[in-house]
Chain A
Amino acid sequence: MHIPDAYLSPATEAVAFGVMIPVWMVATRKSAAHISSRKVPMLAIGSAFCFAIQMFNIPAFGGTTAHALGAVLLAILVGPWAAILGMSLTLAIQALLFGDGGILSFGANCFDMALVAPMVGYGIYRLLCGRDLSNIRRITLAGAVGAFFGTAAASLAAGVILGLQPLVAHDLSGRALYCPFGLDISVPAMVGTHLIVVGPAEAILTVGCLAYLYRTFPEHFESQSRVRVGTQLRLIRMLGWILALTPLGLIASGSAWGEWELEEIKKMVGYEPKGLAQSHPVFHPILPDYGFHGMTAGWWLVVGYLVSALLGCGVVGLFVYGLFRHAKSDSVRSVQLHSCKSDIPDWLTKPNPPIQESHRVKAPWFERTLLRIQASLEKTSDSDATARAPGFLQTIQPAPKMLVILMLLITVGMSQSNWVLSGIAVGVVGLALTSRIPMGAMIVRVGGAVIFFGLIVAIPVSFREGTFRVSGLVASATILLRLADGIALALLWRQTTRWNALLNSLKQCGLSATMVTTANLSYRYLFVVFEMLAEMVQARTSRQVGACSAQEARRYMGNGTAVLFAKSVAFTEEMHWAMTSRTLPTSRHMADPDRWTARDGLAVLTSLTILILTVFHGSLHAF
């Protein structure tokens, strides 16, 4: 769901920021009043944790992948306002440190994942949960339903934002300038995957964590005392309504969009989305007959959504049931145990019986994920080393550097000329060389993203009525160049700036002190969580006999996330104690505003000139 920079038009990005900035301000005020200093570490570790679980990509249809968000879980644990901040923080770290999601599209990504997901999810959770916070079954069930629909809502929002792009941004001949897929494609693609794969995964994750945390840290649940009325009957009725209404909402808008859009798209973009929809592998498993045969397609869509929503809820229900059955048998077993010491068990002095191997198969997905995590661990330490190296960009202060990069990113976003974009690309390479950025890694990162995202966009833009056209190729080159420039610029920024310095520059732009503290902690905890994760993986490896089966891998994932989270929470408690006992003023050790040097001023002026010239040049061509 992380939208990269070149996918959205600058106008959309501006609107998204326009929505998010007041939301962030309100959230900061609300959560500052609501969140005790003890919950700051919790929020920080929560963000770090969300980050970690977002790295576990679940295979979805047609070779694509998706991941859980953790947003609703965070909202339940720290409250919805704080969750908005926490998720935004996670997304910021992802965008800045790992290049997941763009910088200018940060607002839009926050809108989907940091606003819509926790708010919708938490709202449903509170509605279903009602007054009674002592019934763990009810809490987890409400959490599961909330997580499911929170994720679905976020994916709907992302689908709509993407799908609006061909309508709001196209050139004079009607060609899409940014994401070329209309609503009819982007919405089912996003929502479909998230209803069938991610929603249930999210719900299971939330249930697992909630149930386990409830057992391990009951105190985190007692403190929630704000109340809304609710009875058992209402709960059931409500659940029914939500289930029934969601797909209805989708038809109402879906068919309207669909019909209106096919005409629009044909006119504006000049190619049939129908052929595209049929050839795109994503849709076949979901909607076998998808292809706009009037209303029938609409009805298929509804049936599909309804079935998948029911399926999702069914899976979650079964999971909750299994979870508690399991928990019960645990407590029965413990009764027979007693704590007196006995002699060395017989089997310990004998060799093991031979083991049967037949049921074991490899789970490459699981192992791949572990490798990915290890790789990214190494990457983070790399990037910090670069930030300390003596290079050109490293000598520019964080605040002016932020201005420079943002202006260049805006230039890239607005420019429609391949010459300007190529020029910026050359400049970026020059900057990277003078800043001692490892070029190999940069090429892999930018090239990988261009191939992965770019081809999905570039082929439909350049392929019209069965042939490649020169104008199409030029247009797709623009999109690819923009993508490459955006990613490379973001990479330059984060590779040459240390997280602390970056936060400092944000603080000078008015970020609140609580947020800065949380962000600081969050970043530190990120490494803690990763370290813990790596240790857990190592510990498991050392006791893992043979490869684990797919089923075991899934079980381990479910269990593992809950334990990881609980472990991190326990750890933050200790860390908080350690901090308290040394009475470190957590928010006060940020440096004073940096003094700008001539070099900083020059850099800002240069990029401003580039921006102005590009806009001027663009408007000359447009009118």
Chain B
Amino acid sequence: MLFDLRNVSYRYPDGSFALESVSASIENGDRTVVLGANGSGKSTLLRILDGLLFPTDGEVYFQGSLLSEHSLKSVDSSSTFRQSVGFVFQNADAQLFNATVFEELAFGPVQLGLSKTEVQERVTGILGFLGIGHLSDRPPFRLSGGEKRKVVIASVLTMNPEVLILDEPFLGLDPRSQTWLVNTLKQIQSAGKTTIVATHSLETVPLIADKAIVLGEDHRVLRIGSAADILEDLPLLRSANLIGD
């Protein structure tokens, strides 16, 4: 089992509730989506899976070992974890912290200890793959919304993680780029990698996922099950406030 969440609750320091006793498990190679209305706790859940936040109650296990602030402090376990899990933030602006797009994309591979030529190869490869080679020398925060999103996705792809967590990756992409992203996800999934995607675009769900976790507005799990079944279940979607009446 890749991820195992046991009764996870999370409260932000200012006291607002974001998750309430969430239990779920994610297997190796799963294609999962996380659905839920605004503010239901999707982003929080993903941040917990990426070991950026730690549950205020309950436990998260990654490959059988407890994920905690303490366990991620030790160099060895944090390097295997960070190496195998990649995270695309919902707010693209927040994720860009390097001076140029090139450096942004090179950051991950450099972290992996790849040689200069390998880093160069990865970055150019991904720039070509996304068709954003012309942006390579621009400062990332001066790009258009969709361009930022592409750079953010690319910056995680260059690390080639085994588990890919994406928070609203379709946000702001033009239709063609959305199709491109769906196809890329499919290719990555068929290479055996795990993907966890939080999204509001229900029409893409059947294309990129078999399994869905639905969070309710009370920050609890409403349903975990096959994505196709859940998309059929209109009363459920309505009670999650995902669709109107």
Residues of A within 8 A of B (CB): 212, 215-216, 330-331, 333-334, 336-353, 355-357, 359-360, 362, 378, 381, 532, 535-536, 538-547, 559-560, 562-563, 566-567, 570
Contact = CB atoms under 8 A, between A and B. Distances in A.
A566 B79 contact: no
Pick from B75, B99, B136 the residue with the most CB of A within 10 Å: B99
B131 interface: yes
Contacts of A350: 160, 191
Given A341-B128, A560-B97, A330 B137 contact: yes
Contacts of A378: 13
Nearest to A541: B52
Contacts of B129: 341-345, 348
B136 A562 contact: no
B91 interface: yes
Nearest to A361: B75
Contacts of B120: 333
B125 A539 contact: no
A106 B120 CA distance: 51
21 contacts: A216-B142, A330-B100, A337-B128, A339-B131, A340-B128, A342-B128, A342-B129, A345-B125, A350-B160, A350-B191, A352-B83, A355-B83, A357-B79, A378-B13, A381-B14, A535-B93, A542-B86, A543-B87, A543-B155, A545-B82, A567-B141
Contact of B89 (A331, A532, A539): A539
Given A337-B127, A545-B112, A570-B141, A352 B160 contact: yes
Given A338-B133, A351-B160, A545-B78, 15 more contacts: A339-B133, A340-B128, A347-B122, A348-B125, A349-B188, A349-B191, A355-B83, A535-B89, A536-B97, A539-B95, A540-B97, A544-B78, A544-B111, A547-B75, A570-B141
Given A539-B95, A566-B141, A339 B132 contact: yes
A546 B79 contact: yes
Query: Secondary structure of the A side of the interface?
Result: helix
A414 B112 CA distance: 61
Contacts, number: 155
B50 interface: yes
B18 interface: no
A543 B108 contact: yes
B94 A536 contact: yes
Nearest to A531: B94
A28 to B, nearest CB: 32
Query: Secondary structure of the B side of the interface?
Result: helix
B68 interface: no
A341 B131 contact: yes
B65 to A, nearest CB: 16
A563 B99 contact: yes
Nearest to B94: A535
A570 B134 contact: no
Chain B, interface size: which category? 35 or more
B29 to A, nearest CB: 13
B89 A543 contact: no
A355 B89 contact: no
A543 B82 contact: yes
A346 to B, nearest CB: 8
B67 interface: no
A337 B187 contact: no
B39 interface: no
Contacts of A339: 131-134
Contacts of A346: 125
Interface string B131-148: 111101101011000000
A540 to B, nearest CB: 6
Contact of B107 (A337, A345, A541, A543): A543
Contacts of B95: 535, 539
A562 B94 contact: no
A128 B113 CA distance: 42
B8 interface: no
A340 B131 contact: yes
B124 interface: yes
A545 B86 CA distance: 11
B98 interface: yes
Given A341-B130, A542-B50, A543-B156, A330 B75 contact: no
A334 B94 contact: no
A532 B93 CA distance: 9
Contacts of B126: 345, 348
A347 B112 contact: no
Nearest to A543: B108
5 residue pairs, one from A and one from B, having the closest CB atoms: A546-B79, A535-B94, A345-B125, A337-B133, A349-B191
B139 A216 contact: yes
Nearest to B191: A349
B124 A336 contact: yes
